[in-house]
Each structure stands twice: as structure tokens, then as C-alpha cells.
Amino acid sequence: MVTRSTLDPIEEARARVRLRYLRARKVHPGISQIGLAAERLTRKSGAKKLPAVQILQRRWREIVGEKLYPFCRPERITGGKDGRVLTLRVIPQAAPLVQHQAETIRQRVSVSAGGDIVAIKIVQGALTTSEPAAPRRKKRPLTAAERQALEARTAGIQDSSLRAAIVALGAAVLTADDSDTSTPDSRPAT
């Protein structure tokens, strides 16, 4: 053990005082605190703003798969503190098939809609809607000047199929009409 320090004795005394008061404090927040903060931030955004049934209706094809999708649709989610019950509208001919797959559907829906679906109620009847319509973006025609600018920028690419694909991508980007962005000609120069 070294009895004599090479450091300044005053600084060493200050360090001992600091250690006396800071020894048991955490240097960084634990991972659980970071996880809670992230959950608080993400809980209020994204698809969670929609009711659970609307989320299920939009993602129903992904949840049940291509085999069951044509035969059933989610109708509503009801329930209380013991858990929620998902009501499915099923065409009568496919009711036994859906009943057989009910536990698998329940597990998948629990993951998608919040984790507390305890049962599935099957209601037989005709499906009223075939599938939700996807929102379409408005397209405007590509001007000749924009087409020439695309061709000029991709002129240096030797592979013709790659150049055609890049021109098609550029045309799709330029013709997509976003209501919150301005047109390429009216953007300020950067």
C-alpha cells in the first residue's frame, strides 16, 4: 500500500468528500426507466390512437392469413376487467373452420390489439364489406421539362434497364401529389 500520494493533497481531500456523498447514487437511469419513458412517448402516437377494432380491420389479412381472410371479419371488441371478447362475423359455411382456428386467431389478435383478448365469439352471417379501401394518392401528369430533367440526370448510367427503373421511380416520386408539400418547381432553392 502506498502511503504517499502523487496527487495534490487538497484535490484528494475534495475527492474523498465527493465520494462520501455520491457513493450510493446511480450514475445512469436503469433500463426499466428508459423503457417506461419510451412507452409513454409511443403510447400516444401512431396506430394506437385508433380503436382496436379499426386496427384489426386494417390488418386482418396479415393477422389471420390468406386462407381465413375471405371467410371472416372482426366486428367488435367487448369486455371488461377480466379480458376482452372479440366478435367475428363468419360466413356460415366456414364457421367450423374458423372455430377450429379460434385459439390461433385469439393469440394473434392478442398480440396485435393489446394482449387481453380472452375469447372469440363467432356470429354467422354475410360479410358486409369485402375489404377496406386503401387510400390512394393523387397523381398529376409529368411535364416535359421534368421528364427531360430526369433523362438528363440518368444519362450517365450505362445499364439501360437500371436507367429505365430509376427514371420510372423518379417519375413516380415527382407525380405523387402530397397535399402538405409544394410542387418541385415552387420549392425554395437550397
Give the pLDDT mean for 137-165.
Answer: 88
Give the position of cell 440526370: 153
Between strands 117-124 and 83-90, the pairing is parallel
According to the model, what pLDDT value does residue 132 have? 58
Distance of alpha carbon 69 from alpha carbon 63, whole angstroms: 9
Q: Which of 43, 119, 59 is nearest to 85 (CA)?
A: 119
Residue 181 confidence class, pLDDT cut points 50, 70, 90: very low
Give the pLDDT mean for 58-72.
Answer: 90
Whether the per-residue pLDDT at 121 is higher than 60: the answer is yes
Residue 180 confidence class, pLDDT cut points 50, 70, 90: very low
CATH class in words for 47-124: alpha beta
- What are the domain boundaries of the chain? 47-124, 138-184
Whether the per-residue pLDDT at 42 is higher than 90: the answer is no
According to the model, what pLDDT value does residue 164 have? 92
Whether the per-residue pLDDT at 56 is higher than 80: the answer is yes
DSSP, collapsed to helix, strand or coil, labels residue 173 as helix
According to the model, what pLDDT value does residue 137 have? 66
Q: 42 or 122: which carries more pLDDT confidence?
A: 122
Distance of alpha carbon 163 from alpha carbon 158, whole angstroms: 8
**Which of the given ranges, 16-20, 93-97, 186-190, has the highest pLDDT on average?**
93-97
Q: What is the DSSP letter of 57?
A: H
